[in-house]
Amino acid sequence: MNQPGEPDPLLQAALKPFQALEAQGLAAQYERSFKLEPGRLITQRYMLGVRTDSASEAALIAAARAMGMPETALDAFAQSLRTASTVLFGFEGIELPRSSDEAPVFKVYAEYRARLADRSPGDAPIELFRGFKWQPGEEDAWVETRYGCRPGLSAEEVRTRGAQLLATATLEPVRVAVNAVLERSLAAHPAFQPQWLELGEAGQPIRAFDLNLYEAGLQVADIAWPLSMLASHFRIAPADLERLLAIAGPGLLGHVSAGESRNRAGFLTVYFEPAERAGPGFR
């Protein structure tokens, strides 16, 4: 435990992406998220998005280096910038680290939005994001993640693919929660078509997916019921979720990601645009 007057290591880590962008004079959009997994609700998560048409590659690379991106990852990141439309700088923290696996995680993603132009349903998936993740002090332990988009999938196709990726008894509660969120989105906006992304680390099978739900126009509070049911299954204290929803509830629902973690446990992550923001966020 920190002594009075001592700096909070988690707070210092959480400020790093903000400080890195500020040092380069980079303006960013802000998106929050929280993650449900067995026994834990992780709330110290956010992304800062920088448009590449308003930032030089040198500034983006310098910001990633200031966040501590391992030197062995910087070359791959620099190459990923060549056709990127946006770069996202992110953070995930755990309040009381008990092992190296629970140390804060830094993330940087390159997004290729232009690749969606002229794509049709049934086309092969395209790489829409490339992500780099690492923990402080782990110079050679960074992970590269690819996000493949299948544009134009119908809601029924989304249900089918989600069921395939969550087709175990352990992951069934996550599948039920995702379907409930999808149904709520379609009820609010019947013509809505979610954007499907498949997540996979280099050399590893697809183990998770992401649905972009921004266009459904829901608030986080609108999916409180499926979140509550999943939190109960994961043995997350109801009071913890209630406190979170009191803050995040008015926010605009953005994405949900779901799947199986490296330790074979299910998870659900909710991304949202805070209610106090004005103007478009991460769409």
- Cβ atoms of 69 and 132 within 8 Å: the answer is yes
pLDDT of 99 reads 46
pLDDT of 102 reads 64
pLDDT of 21 reads 98
Number of domains making up the chain: 1
**Within-domain flag for 55:** yes
Q: What is the pLDDT along the chain (283 residues), one digit of tens a residue?
A: 455 556 678 888 999 999 999 999 999 999 999 999 999 999 999 999 999 999 999 999 999 999 999 999 999 999 999 999 999 999 999 754 444 456 789 999 999 999 988 777 777 789 999 999 999 877 778 989 989 998 888 899 999 999 999 999 999 999 999 999 999 999 999 888 889 999 877 666 668 999 999 999 999 999 999 999 999 999 999 999 999 999 999 999 999 999 998 778 899 999 999 986 544 445 5
CA–CA dist 57, 51 (Å, integer): 11
- Full residue range of the structural domain in which residue 92 is found: 9-273
**Within-domain flag for 279:** no
pLDDT of 95 reads 53
* CA 45, 106, 145, 40 torsion-angle sign: negative
- Cβ atoms of 84 and 110 within 8 Å: the answer is yes
- Cβ atoms of 149 and 125 within 8 Å: the answer is yes
CA–CA dist 207, 145 (Å, integer): 11
pLDDT of 97 reads 41
pLDDT in tens, 137-164: 777 789 899 899 988 888 999 999 999 9
Query: What is the DSSP secondary structure assignment for residue 219, as one 8-state letter?
Result: B
**Within-domain flag for 135:** yes
**Within-domain flag for 217:** yes
Entry field: residues in the chain: 283
pLDDT in tens, 178-200: 999 999 999 999 888 889 999 87
CA–CA dist 24, 65 (Å, integer): 11
**Within-domain flag for 4:** no
pLDDT of 75 reads 95
